[in-house]
Amino acid sequence: VTNLDFAELESLSGIDVQLKKRSNLIPNILKIAKKFMAQEKEIFTSVTELRTKVDSNYDPSNTQNVKQHWNDATALDQNMGRLMLSMEDYPDLKSQETMIQAQKTYNEVEAQIAASRRFYNSSVTSLNNSIQIFPGNLIAGLAKATSMPFYEADDASKKNVNVDDFI
């Protein structure tokens, strides 16, 4: 049980590493975009505030803290998506080489975050099974191991995309 608990914490740390990579990339994207998108101040402010929240420390052994951390990360995902869509209205920005490279890097980091989340869910499955199944349930109490939440996509991410919104 203890090894699985450590594996869960390691996989959660893997998500945080990828979120930090993304967080480090966001200021560069914002700097480039601000030159072209002065009227989009609200989205820049929102992304900056959410980035600060996601970068703040939290207790990875506390289920509520983990869930809040994910909620903040999801809100940042959504706002970055809005920013990327807004960029489509600025042809000069879309064609700038540094922005193209920043967007490619951002997409790569997003893929790494998704892989880290899958690994985390796999680790949580193993941990939660060991805690709930005999004899692990007896050992879990002694080791003070607790079930951890799965990473779940928010409701907005589960909805079908309406192509008409982008045409």
Residue position matching structure tokens 């079930």:
147
Residue whose pair of structure tokens reads 């941990």 in the numeric block = 127
For the residues 107-115, what does the mean pLDDT come to? 90
Q: How confident is the model at residue 1 (pLDDT cuts 50, 70, 90)?
A: low
Average pLDDT estimate for 84-111 = 85
Least confident of 25-34, 113-122, 142-151: 142-151
pLDDT of res. 127: 86
Share of the chain above pLDDT 70, in %: 89
What local confidence, expressed as pLDDT, does residue 144 receive? 79
Residue 164: which pLDDT band, with cuts at 50, 70 and 90? low
Instruction: Please report the pLDDT score of residue 112 as a whole number.
Output: 92
Question: Mind giving me the DSSP string for the chain?
Answer: -HHHHHHHHHHHHHHHHHHHHHHHHHHHHHHHHHHH-GGGHHHHHHHHHHHHHHHS---TT-HHHHHHHHHHHHHHHHHHHHHHHHHTT-HHHHT-HHHHHHHHHHHHHHHHHHHHHHHHHHHHHHHHHHHHSTTHHHHHHHHT----PPP---HHHHSPP-GGGG-
Q: What is the pTM of this model?
A: 0.69
What was the pLDDT predicted at 131?
84
pLDDT at 25 over 50: yes
More confident residue, 76 or 7: 76
The confidence band for 73, taking pLDDT boundaries of 50, 70 and 90, is: very high
